[in-house]
Amino acid sequence: MELERFFIWQDWPAEKQKLFFAALVAAWGLVLFMIWSGFHESQVSEARSVLQNKLQYSKTVPLVEQLKVGEASQGALIDREPMTAAQQVTRDLGLDNRLTSLRPLQSGSSSGEGVQVILESLNLPEMVALMRDFNVRGGLKVTSFSINHRLDTPDLADVQIILVR
């Protein structure tokens, strides 16, 4: 191989050499553009992913805080009498104005110390929160739960609950 004929375009006419180098520069530019666009798309995709993770995090933070508060208050009223614990739970949930009756169980009952609670005009989320707090915060177990549908307001119900510890 001769050193003078090392490059293949040396024997080409000048117009073909210009066209070849223009195509070579364009190809090099296209390769650089493709590399840049790949990095750019990667960066945009990562930014979307980070934004989506931040949005998901912002949605879960309040739930985690509620769980922490719930765990911190777990058994908070367990050292109190069942009547006092039930009264405190209804007061904390803002249901004390709908509390119709709160009385201790008869001493002849075999279930130990307990209380009977009657509330009026509760909706389903309030009932669920009430039952959860009786169990979690008050350490009270439900032995009897009676629900009566209200005729004047179909979305609400009256409940009678017997709780024991």
pLDDT of residue 64: 85
pLDDT at residue 56 greater than cutoff 90: yes
pLDDT of residue 21: 94
pLDDT of residue 113: 82
**Considering the chain, what is the average pLDDT of its residues?**
88
Residues 154 and 92 in one domain: yes
Domain membership flag for residue 4: no
Average pLDDT over residues 117-146: 92
Domain membership flag for residue 139: yes
Residue 34 CA to residue 13 CA, distance in Å, equals 31
Domain that holds residue 138: 82-164
Sign of CA dihedral 134, 135, 139, 145: positive
Residues 108 and 139 in one domain: yes
Angle ∠(125,131,132) on CA atoms, nearest 5: 90
Residue 30 CA to residue 10 CA, distance in Å, equals 25
Domain membership flag for residue 8: no
CATH of residue 103's domain is 3.30.70.60
Residues 115 and 139 in one domain: yes
pLDDT at residue 2 greater than cutoff 60: no
Total domains in the chain come to: 2
Read off the DSSP letter of residue 27: H
Which pLDDT tens digit goes with each residue over 67-82?
A: 777 666 677 788 888 9
Domain membership flag for residue 48: yes
pLDDT of residue 109: 56
